[in-house]
């Protein structure tokens, strides 16, 4: 049997360098306007500009930390391996493909459950609803093929 591998990840459309340039441009524009008002006696505008850019920096840092989040599912000769990467921490689960079953979500935007011997891992968080259904169908076909020995 050939090894099957699925890599599910975010669609990250901006590089860290581009993010830094965008932040610098935002800071420049915001502080330029705030400086104008500061020179005309409205110092409170500068306070709000600093608060605003701090909030934007926090949001950009959060986005940067989660830019490489992913799920990697590998069905090999011996096992089904699920590797979850979340904010630079990696968790790996190994399951017996003979006893793994796929549990479809009850709610519309729920995740796909993989269960074996009382363990459960949820996957599909980076897929749209339609792609999640297609992925579950494909994984189910591969598991059935594996379990039937073809």
Q: How far apart are CA 40 and CA 33, in angstroms?
A: 11
- pTM for the model stands at 0.77
Domain ranges for the chain: 1-150
pLDDT digits (tens, 9 = 90+) for 87-127: 889 999 999 998 899 999 888 889 999 999 889 999 999 99
Residue 72 has pLDDT above 80, yes or no: yes
CATH class of the region 1-150: mainly beta
Q: What is the pLDDT of residue 7?
A: 95
């Amino acid at each position: 049997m050939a090894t099957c591998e699925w890599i599910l990840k975010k669609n990250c459309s901006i590089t860290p360098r581009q993010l830094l340039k965008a932040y610098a441009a935002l800071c420049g524009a915001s502080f330029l306007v705030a400086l104008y008002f500061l020179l005309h006696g409205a110092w409170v505008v500068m306070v709000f500009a600093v608060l605003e850019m701090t909030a934007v920096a926090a949001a950009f840092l959060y986005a940067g930390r989660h830019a490489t989040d992913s799920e990697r599912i590998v069905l090999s000769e011996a096992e089904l391996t699920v590797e979850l990467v979340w904010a630079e921490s990696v968790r790996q689960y190994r399951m017996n493909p003979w006893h793994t079953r796929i549990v479809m979500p009850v709610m519309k935007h729920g995740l796909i459950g993989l269960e074996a011997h009382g363990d459960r891992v949820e996957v599909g968080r980076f897929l749209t609803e339609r792609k999640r259904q297609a992925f579950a169908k494909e994984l189910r076909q591969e598991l059935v093929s594996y379990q039937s020995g073809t």
